[in-house]
Amino acid sequence: MSAQADDGHCPAYGERLRLDELLEIAQVHENPERALFFGAHQACEIWFAVVLRHLETARRDLTEGRGAEACAHLDRLPRIMEAVAQHFDALHALTPEEFDVVRATLGTSSGFQSVQFREIEFLCGARDRRMLNIAGLTDRDRARLLARLDEPSLDDAFAAYRDRAGEDVKRVQDAMVAFDAAMRSSRGRHAALAQALLGGVAGTAGSSGAAYLWRSMERTLFPQLTQGVHSDDC
Ligand code: HEM
C-alpha cells in the first residue's frame, strides 16, 4: 500500500497536485463572480490539455495500426466534453447583470482566442486557416497552430488506417463520431449560456455572440469521416 518514494518521502495530496502553486496563479482570489467566471475558464483549459493528450495518443495508435488502443483513448472524450459542458452550465449561476460587470473588464479577450481549443480542432481535422489570423493570438500561439497544420490530423490517420483495412475500423469510427457529437453538444450548451447572459449582444471578440455559437454547431471535427458517415444527413 505504500507509495513512498526512494528517499522515504511520500508527497501528500496538496504537494502531489502542486496546489500551492496552482491556486496561487489560479484566478480565484477576487470576488465570487470573477472567481466563478475565471475559475471555469481555467478549469476548461486544463480539460482541453487533457483532451489534446488523448487525441495525440489516439492518432499515434492509429498510425501504428492499434485501433483498439486508439478507441480506449477516444472513448473517454465524450465524458470529458460533458465535464467541459458542465462548466458552461455552472456559469448560468451568474445573472446577466453580474456577468455584465465581469464583461466590462474583459476588453476584447474571449475564449475565441483559446489556442488549445483551436489545437483540438486542427489536430482532429477541422482546419479553418482563418483561425490563424484571430486578433489577440500571440506569436507563440500562432506557431503552435502552424505546427499542428504540419502534422497529419486524426481524420487523416483514420483514413489511412481504414485504407489499410485495420481491425476495429467500425469501433474507431464510432468513437470519433461520439466525440464529434459530444463537442457539438458542448457547443450547444455554450451557445445557450451566451444566449442567456448576452442575449443578442456581440461577443467580446466581436462575433455575433450567441448566434455565432449556435452556428458553430454545424461544424464537424472530422470533415473526411463525416462525409462518409453523414452523407445522407444534408
Ligand atoms: C459567461 C460565460 C461565457 C460567455 C457569455 C461566452 C461567450 C462566448 C462568445 C460570444 C463567443 C464567440 C466569440 C466572441 O465574439 O467573443 C465565445 C467563444 C468561445 N468561448 Fe465562450 N463564453 C463563456 C464561457 C466560456 C468558457 C467557460 C469557456 C472555456 C474555456 C469558453 C470558451 C470559448 C471558446 C473556446 C470559444 C471559441 C468557440 C468557437 O470558435 O467555436 N467560453 N464565447
The total of structural domains in the chain comes to 1
With respect to residue 179, please indicate whether it lies within any of the assigned structural domains.
yes
Mean pLDDT of the residues in the chain:
94
With respect to residue 23, please indicate whether it lies within any of the assigned structural domains.
no
Contact (CB, 8 A) for 194 and 210 = yes
With respect to residue 103, please indicate whether it lies within any of the assigned structural domains.
yes
Amino acid at site 42 = Q
User: What distance in angstroms lies between residue 112's CA and the mean position of ligand 1's atoms?
Assistant: 6
Question: In angstroms, rounded to a whole number, what is the distance separating the alpha carbons of residues 197 and 96?
Answer: 5
**CATH (domain of 87):** 1.20.58.480
Question: In angstroms, rounded to a whole number, what is the distance separating the alpha carbons of residues 4 and 10?
Answer: 4
Q: Is the pLDDT of residue 234 over 60?
A: no
- pTM, 2 dp: 0.94
User: What distance in angstroms lies between residue 95's CA and the mean position of ligand 1's atoms?
Assistant: 17
- Segment 129-145 shows an average pLDDT of 96
Grid cell 499515434 in the structure block, residue: 60
User: What distance in angstroms lies between residue 162's CA and the mean position of ligand 1's atoms?
Assistant: 35
Ligand 1 in reach of 203 Cβ (< 6 A): yes
> What is the distance between the terminal CA atoms of the chain, rounded to a whole angstrom?
56
Grid cell 500500500 in the structure block, residue: 1
The per-residue pLDDT for 3 is: 54
With respect to residue 178, please indicate whether it lies within any of the assigned structural domains.
yes
With respect to residue 87, please indicate whether it lies within any of the assigned structural domains.
yes
Question: In angstroms, rounded to a whole number, what is the distance separating the alpha carbons of residues 150 and 173?
Answer: 23
With respect to residue 229, please indicate whether it lies within any of the assigned structural domains.
no
Question: In angstroms, rounded to a whole number, what is the distance separating the alpha carbons of residues 158 and 180?
Answer: 14
pLDDT in tens, 122-132: 999 999 999 99
Classify the C-alpha dihedral 191-194-195-200 as positive or negative. negative
With respect to residue 85, please indicate whether it lies within any of the assigned structural domains.
yes
Which atom in ligand 1 lies closest to the alpha carbon of residue 110?
A: 16
Grid coordinates of 124 = 482532429
Domain extent, residue 55, equals 30-110+152-216
Ligand 1 in reach of 112 Cβ (< 6 A): yes
User: What distance in angstroms lies between residue 190's CA and the mean position of ligand 1's atoms?
Assistant: 7
Band of the pLDDT at 103, cuts 50, 70, 90? very high
The per-residue pLDDT for 4 is: 62
With respect to residue 22, please indicate whether it lies within any of the assigned structural domains.
no
